[in-house]
Amino acid sequence: MSLASVGLKPAQQKQIELDTKKKILGAVMDISSYENPNDILALYDEKVESIVVDINGDEVTTDDKGNPVVAEKVNIQKNYRFAPEERLFPVFKFKNDPNSEQVDAYIFPMFGAGLWDWISGYLALENDLNTIKGVAFDHKQETPGLGARITSEEVRDRFVGKKIYEGGKLVSVSMVKGEGNSGLTDHQVDGMSGATLTGKGVNSMLQSYLGYYQSYINKVKSGDGKVALN
């Protein structure tokens, strides 16, 4: 069994890498036409750059032992066990034109608690660092057809175009109770009928992690006069 496990490990790691990069890309673009895994990995390498920051928004390049820190290898679930001040926070920068200095979207991974188990996600912001470009959610053991709906395109699309700042203050985006609500603001999306607790878990995750990334967002803002948090 141990030999089989060792033999399968490279393939498993490759699949994890593929799944992670698909989710990151999926938060900013439609990759449904890419069927070959190698094409997806090549697209990722072409379009995405990554760094790791700490709670203060400072870049982290090495660990305590001097080993390089790679954003794609940071395990958000394991990091979740530590206090926010001790965590590593990957940032993925998406460029439509890889030869340009222009970053078209910033993608932030997140992790939290759903109704029965964990939920996770990738939130992509336009380069104004305020408008949501897209989201990609995942879950473990949420109720099929209810809480598990957070992974559906229909629910994910609700977040597109919403804002995380209001008057310069971080307010995040929240799922409200029920569906078909009228008068939703730029900071609200419809909830999921029968899955209120999962929605609350998503809200908590977004609020918490946007807070963790806020120092980094502010540093990008201060270094680019074109970024305005309106």
DSSP codes joined into one string, 97-150? STTSS---EEEEEEEEE-SSSEEEEEEEEETTSSBEEEEEEEESSPPTTTGGGG
Residue 62 lies in a domain: yes
Q: How many domains does the chain have?
A: 1
Residue 228 lies in a domain: no
Q: Is the dihedral of CA 152, 158, 162, 166 positive or negative?
A: negative
Residue 123 lies in a domain: yes
- At residue 144, does pLDDT exceed 70? no
How far is the CA of 27 from the CAs of 22, 147, 182, in angstroms? Answer: 9, 19, 26
pLDDT per residue over 42-52, tens digit each? 999 999 999 99
Q: How confident is the model at residue 222 (pLDDT cuts 50, 70, 90)?
A: confident
pLDDT at 114: 65
Residue 149 lies in a domain: yes
Tokens linked to 121: 């996600």
Residue 17: enclosing H or E segment and its boundaries? helix 2-26
Looking at residue 152, the DSSP 8-state letter turns out to be S
Query: What whole-number distance in Å separates Cα of residue 118 and Cα of residue 67?
Result: 29
Do residues 174 and 201 make contact, with C-beta atoms less than 8 angstroms apart? no
pLDDT at 195: 63
- At residue 194, does pLDDT exceed 80? no
pLDDT at 164: 97
Strand segments, DSSP code E, in the chain are: 48-53, 89-94, 105-113, 118-126, 132-139, 165-166, 169-170, 174-175, 188-189
Residue 183 lies in a domain: yes
What's phi and psi for 153, nearest 5 deg?
-65, -35
Q: Which domain holds residue 140?
A: 2-223
Residue 209 lies in a domain: yes
Residue 230 lies in a domain: no
Residue 77 lies in a domain: yes
